[in-house]
Amino acid sequence: MEHLKALGIKFVMIAAVLLIILTLLFDVPFMDTIWTSLVLTIFAYVLGDFILFRLAPKRLRNIMATIADLIIGFLVIWYMLIALTDANENLAVGAIISAIVIALGEWFFHKYLDRTVFVGKYISKLDEVSGVAKKH
């Protein structure tokens, strides 16, 4: 149930950013922005949060997952804009700006994941070897 709640929070955050930046500033149609938000939420949660964040060493996990979210965000947004709209170079700027703003939000979202979703459930093998797992 915590994963569904986290997915909902992530979707609302991403959709809000994309609606403001892409729809209001770059005139991307509303439904294209919603579809992009949905696809990005799923890709970023599975790749960035569920796989990378939870399995990375505790002290590096937030920065690693945030950088991954920045890259995944840009690639997914840019691909979706190309697929759904008459993309031009201005939309690349919109994709970059959106990915940066989303990555900033992801930094705080990962702190939420650490406190509520993944608390004590997943320990990186690197943490076990280094002894960090015993300290937390």
The string of pLDDT tens digits covering residues 32-54 is: 999 999 999 999 999 999 899 88
Check residue 131 and give its pLDDT. Answer: 56
Distance CA 10, CA 8 (A): 5
Residue 133 included in any domain: no
Check residue 124 and give its pLDDT. Answer: 53
* CB 12 within 8 Å of CB 109: no
Residue 89 included in any domain: yes
What average pLDDT does range 95-117 have in this prediction?
96
Check residue 127 and give its pLDDT. Answer: 53
Residues 59-98: tens digit of each pLDDT: 899 999 999 999 999 999 999 999 999 877 789 999 999 9
Question: Given the structure tokens 């804009």, which residue do they identify?
Answer: 81
Is residue 123 over pLDDT 70? no
Residue 135 included in any domain: no
Q: Please give the full DSSP string across 9-75, using - where no structure is assigned.
A: HHHHHHHHHHIIIIIIIH---HHHHHHHHHHHHHHIIIIIIIIIIHHS-TTTHHHHHHHHHHHHHHH
pTM for the complete prediction? 0.86
* Structural domain containing residue 43: 2-128
What average pLDDT does range 105-130 have in this prediction?
76
